[in-house]
Amino acid sequence: MIIQGNSIINKIDRNDDIIYVLLAGSTEISKIPGISAAGENSELTFLTPVLDSEIIYSGKCISYDVIPMTENGIPTPSIITRAANLVSGVDILIVDAGFYESPKIPYLHTKLGPANDPRKQEALTKYDVAVETGRYIGRMLDKKYKYIVLAESVPGGTTTAYMVLRSLGYDYMTSSSMKSGPDQLKRKVADEAFQRYKPVNNAMDSMIQYGDYMMALATGISGAVRNSTIMYAGGTQMACVYLLDKIINKSHEKRYIFTTGYIINDRGDLLSDIAGGNIIYAKTNFSGIQGLDYYEQGYVKEGTGFGAAFGIAYVINKNENLIYDEIKKVYNSFL
């Protein structure tokens, strides 16, 4: 089966019931060499959320004339998300979760700026602004859409998620944008951050000290949503957000993680421990698609909520070939 997990997915049948929200931004953590492959090099990871946003909204890299790939030549998952969203026809909202610079598309501007390096200072100096902005977004979207799909583009975000989870007693390693994750480097970064500040007082304190603005915005959104269903579209980063939401907002009903089969194979134990049966995943297969076939080798497991985007497109259209054809079309437009 293409879609597996919680049966809530079977209730989706109308694209106008759904909005895809990309929370895109940066953290200084991504500049640490070797921590993220979400960019041609560590310095350029700050541009990845900008380009992902432009691709998902417009199908083009507008700010920079580049082919959106990692240094190993692996295409960004935003290509898949763009194609899947075209097939499903869902509404799209891009939210500034700490942009380094503004994308050249319509988006919700927050002026948060990138999250700080938690080894040196608290990560989220504008935490209160981020949460209140999230609540504002949540109030706008609640009831208007039955399903709010929250996705992320935050290079270095699996490291911030690891630090938050570990500080709260969940000593699981998070996934990575690389085939072999930089687990030792993540532990070293976390150890250095914990030397600056530990123990944390609660989940909110953990987010402020070690997190990123995507987390703060997402928990703010969920805190204001009373009627709609929220699907956290992503892997271990969104598992972290699901946990924070559950602790801070006491949310558990109408909250799900929607991910990929790659994440289930890689870190399914972490997701199950945090979300139990509230997990949905899409089993994609990019074998034979040049560039994207690297995904089958474990190089990219999630990103920009492509698992949820693919799954929703399939549920609405019941035609996986249509989705794969659109993915090829979008991918080829960059070559």
- CATH number for the domain harbouring residue 138: 3.40.50.10210
Q: Is 96 helix (H, G, I), strand (E, B) or coil?
A: strand
Domain range spanning residue 224?
A: 3-332
Least confident of 117-121, 243-247, 280-284, 294-298: 294-298
CB 255 within 8 A of CB 245: yes
Rounded to 10 deg, the angle between the 127-141 and 213-224 helix axes is 40
Rama region for 118: left / alpha / beta (φ>0; ψ in -120 to 50; rest): alpha
Q: Is 156 helix (H, G, I), strand (E, B) or coil?
A: coil
Q: Look at residue 181 in the predicted model and tell me its pLDDT.
A: 66
Q: What angle do CA 97, 328, 24 make, to 5 degrees?
A: 0
| CA pair distance 329, 323, nearest whole angstrom | 10
> Residue 103: is its pLDDT beyond 90?
yes
* Total number of domains in the chain: 1
Confidence of residue 178 (pLDDT cuts 50, 70, 90): low
Cβ atoms within 10 Å of 214's Cβ, excluding its own: 35
Q: Look at residue 89 in the predicted model and tell me its pLDDT.
A: 98
Q: Look at residue 305 in the predicted model and tell me its pLDDT.
A: 99
Q: Look at residue 69 in the predicted model and tell me its pLDDT.
A: 80
Q: Look at residue 105 in the predicted model and tell me its pLDDT.
A: 99
33-75 pLDDT tens trace: 888 766 555 667 899 999 999 999 999 999 998 877 876 778 9
User: Which DSSP string corresponds to 37-69?
Assistant: -SSSSTGGGGGHHHHHHHHHHHSS--SS----B
Q: Look at residue 180 in the predicted model and tell me its pLDDT.
A: 59
